[in-house]
Amino acid sequence: MARATTPRRKSINTALAWAVGLLIFFPILWTILTSFKIEAQAINDPPLFLFFDWTLENYAVVQERSDYMRYLWNSIIIAGGSTLLGLIVAVPAAWSMAFVPSKRTKDILMWMLSTKMLPAVGVLYPIYLLFIKLGLLDSRIGLVIVLMLINLPIIVWMLYTYFREIPGEILEAARMDGATLKEEILYVLTPMAVPGIASTVLLNIILAWNEAFWTLNLTAAKAAPLTAFIASYSSPEGLFYAKLSAASTMAIAPILILGWFSQKQLVRGLTFGAVK
Partner 1 sequence: MTMTIRALMGACAFGAFAAVAGAETITVATVNNGDMIRMQGMMDAFNAKYPDIQVEWVTLEENVLRQRVTTDISTKGGAFDVMTIGMYETPIWGANGWLVPLNDLSADYDAGDILPAMAGGLSHDGTLYAAPFYGESSMIMYRTDLMEKAGLEMPEAPTWTFIREAAAAMTDRANDINGICLRGKAGWGEGGAFITAMSNSFGARWFDMDWNAQFDTQPWKDTLEFFVGMMSESGPAGYATNGFNENLSLFQQGKCGMWIDATVAASFVTNPNDSTVADKVGFALAPDNGLGKRSNWLWAWALAIPAGTQKEAAAKTFIEWATSKEYIELVAEKEGWANVPPGARTSLYENPNYMEVPFAKMTLDSILSADPNNSTVEPSPYVGVQFAAIPEFAGIASEVSQEFSAVYAGQQTVDEALAKAQAITNDAMEAAGYR
Partner 2 sequence: MATQQSRSAARLMMAPAVILLLGWMLVPLIMTLYFSFKKYLPLRGGDLGWVGFDNYVSFVTSSSFWPSIQTTLIIVGGVLVITLVLGVLLAILLDQPMWGQGIVRILVIAPFFVMPTVSALVWKNMFMDPINGILAHLWRFFGAQPVEWLSQASMPSLIIIISWQWLPFATLILLTAIQSLDSEQLEAAEMDGAPVLKRFWFITLPHLSRAITIVILIQTIFLLGIFAEIFVTTGGAFGTRTLSYLIFQRVLESQNIGLGSAGGVYAIILANIVAIFLMRIVGKNLDA
**CB of 118 vs partner 1, minimal distance in Å:** 18
Q: Which of 89, 124, 141, 207 binds partner 1 (CB under 8 A)?
A: 124
What is the Cα 209 distance to its own chain's centre?
Answer: 5
- Angle, helices 140-165 vs 105-114, to 10°: value is 150
Half-sphere exposure at residue 134, Cβ-oriented, CA atoms within 13 angstroms: 16
Q: Which stretch binds partner 1 (CB under 8 A): 80-88, 96-104, 215-223, 258-266?
A: 215-223
Give CA–CA dist 196/157, Å, rounded.
11
Shorter beta-carbon distance to partner 1: residue 29 or 129 = 129
Does the protein bind partner 1 through residue 152 (CB under 8 A)?
no
Sign of CA dihedral 150, 152, 155, 156: negative
Does the protein bind partner 2 through residue 68 (CB under 8 A)?
no
Give CA–CA dist 217/97, Å, rounded.
35
When CB distances are held under 5 to 8 angstroms depending on the partner's kind, the choice from partner 2, partner 1, none that residue 193 binds is none
Q: Which of 12, 16, 56, 231 binds partner 1 (CB under 8 A)?
A: 231
Q: Which stretch binds partner 2 (CB under 8 A): 52-60, 66-74, 108-116, 136-144?
A: 108-116
Subset of residues 59 to 78 that bind partner 1, contact rule: CB under 8 A: 64-66
- Here's the x/- map for partner 2, 158-177, by CB under 8 A: it reads as --xx------x---x-----
Which residues are near partner 1 by CB under 8 A? Answer: 39-40, 43, 64-66, 124-125, 128-129, 131-132, 137-138, 216-217, 220-222, 224, 228, 231-240
